[in-house]
Amino acid sequence: MAIDRFGRNIHYLRISLTDHCNLRCVYCMAEDMTFQPNADLMQDDEILFFTRLFAGFGFDKIRLTGGEPTVRANVVELVRGIASTEGVRSVSMTTNGLLLKKLAQPLAAAGLQRVNVSIDTLNPEKFKRLTRWGKLEDVWEGILAAEKARLAPIKINAVAVKGYNEEDMVDLAALTIERPWQVRFIEMMPFASATDLQVNQVVTMAQIRQHIESEFGKLEVSNEGRLDGEAQVFHIRGAKGNVGFISSVTHPFCADCTRARLTSDGKLRLCLLREKEVDLLTPLRAGASFEELRRLILNGIWDKPWGHGLAEGFIPLNRAMSEIGG
Ligand code: SAM
Ligand code: SF4
């Protein structure tokens, strides 16, 4: 078991398969973002080795993310290897959905259990402006393919950005009325790369909730008020699905955090919003023993920061969100 010094059992690993992406969402990266060379990223055998190592400490829940995980060559085989690792109970993915039309079925057959698909508006023009060139229709087809492949329950991630899509949250919430999906609203967080926009164009959860409730009436509590992952969940009266609020900025959920992240270049990141990292890939490539790597991981987890420092004005600037794995 991997326990931190605050007694939290850390058993959920988010692995960034690549920092590369086929979109350039304005709140995530600059249009001229440069990516790391493939040789500096974890190779397939290195990802599988780390998965085995972490699973040995009780990490039973894995989420694959990025960058865009589906642009990684060989992603289906990688998922198969991760899903069949002893001790791994759940494998899910966060994706922009562009390639799901083609990949949903093979990924499900390889052992992927669920997907979260990011879609911030149902307006094709606004979608293009937010992602810089994305076609909404492709993502929609991807979501339907995921549903057909039973990558359920479908979860939709939406980030609201002032001046881009704040009023579109109402249409996204409306998707849950007829569909058993969870639409999750994520408060924008600041990192390197698009920091000005991330700081100045935040829409708070309270504002989003107000928009939704002014259309559909007061939201009702779901999941008996317990968090679902990091989301507080509610539903519109009579809806088949529910809406989630991930208010990392205004209401942090650090006390309940069970996560660690493996960046695409093989660093153990202890908190999304703290710069502290432990390099695992360099020692692995230098021939470190199993025991040495074990120590590095357990000591790193033990020192996991309590929580982020956004309220005190601390912004992690050593990486863009896409490099860490959101
Ligand atoms: N490319 C995939 C996608 O977009 O779903 C996976 C990686 S992306 C970094 C993971 C999630 O982080 C997405 O839902 C995205 O909307 C969200 N995200 C990106 N930048 C963010 C930011 N600055 N604040 C909050 N969420 C952000
Ligand atoms: Fe790419 Fe996801 Fe970042 Fe958008 S949010 S640029 S899809 S990594």
Return the ligand 2 atom nearest residue 22 CA: 1
Predicted confidence at residue 191, as pLDDT, reads 85
Evaluate: CB of 202 within 6 angstroms of ligand 1.
no
Which domains are seen in the chain, by residue range? 12-323 (3.20.20.70)
In the structure, what pLDDT confidence band is assigned to residue 323 with cuts at 50, 70 and 90?
Answer: confident
Question: What percent of the chain stands above pLDDT 90?
Answer: 84
In the structure, what pLDDT confidence band is assigned to residue 249 with cuts at 50, 70 and 90?
Answer: confident
Ligand 2 centroid to 24 CA: how many Å?
6
Contacts with 56 (C-beta within 8 Å, 6 or more apart), sequence order: 87
Using the predicted structure, report yes or no on whether residue 75 has a pLDDT greater than 80: yes
Ligand 1 centroid to 49 CA: how many Å?
26
Bridge partners of residue 92, in order along the sequence:
63, 114
Structural tokens at position 197: 């926009």
325 vs 50, higher pLDDT = 50
In the structure, what pLDDT confidence band is assigned to residue 50 with cuts at 50, 70 and 90?
Answer: very high
Condensed to tens digits (0 to 9), the pLDDT of residues 148-176 reads: 999 999 999 999 999 999 999 999 999 99
* CA angle, 216 then 217 then 218, to 5°: 125
Judge contact between 18 and 41, C-beta under 8 A: yes
Using the predicted structure, report yes or no on whether residue 322 has a pLDDT greater than 90: no
Task: Determine the distance from the C-alpha atom of residue 256 to the mean position of all C-alpha atoms in its chain, rounded to a whole number.
Answer: 17
Strands (E), 45-142: 61-66, 90-95, 114-118
Condensed to tens digits (0 to 9), the pLDDT of residues 102-142 reads: 999 999 999 999 999 999 999 999 999 999 999 999 999 99
233 exposed, middle or buried (CB, 10 Å; 0-12, 13-18, 19+)? buried
- Helix 169-178 vs helix 205-216: crossing angle, to nearest 10: 60
- Average pLDDT, rounded, for the chain: 95
Predicted confidence at residue 281, as pLDDT, reads 98
Using the predicted structure, report yes or no on whether residue 252 has a pLDDT greater than 90: no
Judge contact between 19 and 67, C-beta under 8 A: yes
Ligand 2 centroid to 147 CA: how many Å?
21
Dump the DSSP string for 153-221.
S-EEEEE-BTTTTGGGHHHHHHHHHHS--EEEEE-----SSSHHHHHHSB--HHHHHHHHHHHH-SPEE
Judge contact between 219 and 213, C-beta under 8 A: yes
Question: What percent of the chain stands above pLDDT 70?
Answer: 100
Report the C-alpha gap between 273 and 278 in whole angstroms: 15
Condensed to tens digits (0 to 9), the pLDDT of residues 165-221 reads: 999 999 999 999 999 999 999 999 988 878 889 889 999 999 999 999 999 999 999
Predicted confidence at residue 320, as pLDDT, reads 86
Q: Report the residue among 14, 17, 24, 28 best suited for mutation to probe ligand 2: largest number of ligand atoms under 8 A from its CB.
A: 28
Return the ligand 1 atom nearest residue 16 CA: 7
* CA angle, 164 then 168 then 173, to 5°: 145
Report the C-alpha gap between 246 and 278 in whole angstroms: 27
Report the C-alpha gap between 103 and 148 in whole angstroms: 12
Evaluate: CB of 19 within 6 angstroms of ligand 1.
no
Question: Could you tell me whether strands 90-95 and 61-66 are parallel, antiparallel, or unpaired per DSSP bridges?
Answer: parallel
Ligand 2 centroid to 279 CA: how many Å?
24
Judge contact between 315 and 199, C-beta under 8 A: yes
Count CB atoms within 10 A of the CB of residue 87. Answer: 14
Using the predicted structure, report yes or no on whether residue 326 has a pLDDT greater than 80: no
121: closest CA among 68, 71, 174, 69? Answer: 174
Predicted confidence at residue 108, as pLDDT, reads 98
Ligand 2 centroid to 137 CA: how many Å?
17
Q: What is the mean pLDDT of residues 11-37?
A: 95
Return the ligand 2 atom nearest residue 134 CA: 7
Using the predicted structure, report yes or no on whether residue 71 has a pLDDT greater than 90: yes
Q: Report the residue among 26, 94, 197 best suited for mutation to probe ligand 1: largest number of ligand atoms under 8 A from its CB.
A: 94
Evaluate: CB of 182 within 6 angstroms of ligand 1.
no
Predicted confidence at residue 8, as pLDDT, reads 96
Contacts with 120 (C-beta within 8 Å, 6 or more apart), sequence order: 25, 126, 127, 130, 158, 159, 160, 161, 164, 165, 168, 172
Using the predicted structure, report yes or no on whether residue 324 has a pLDDT greater than 90: no
Bridge partners of residue 227, in order along the sequence:
232
Structural tokens at position 93: 């993915």
Using the predicted structure, report yes or no on whether residue 243 has a pLDDT greater than 80: yes
In the structure, what pLDDT confidence band is assigned to residue 86 with cuts at 50, 70 and 90?
Answer: very high
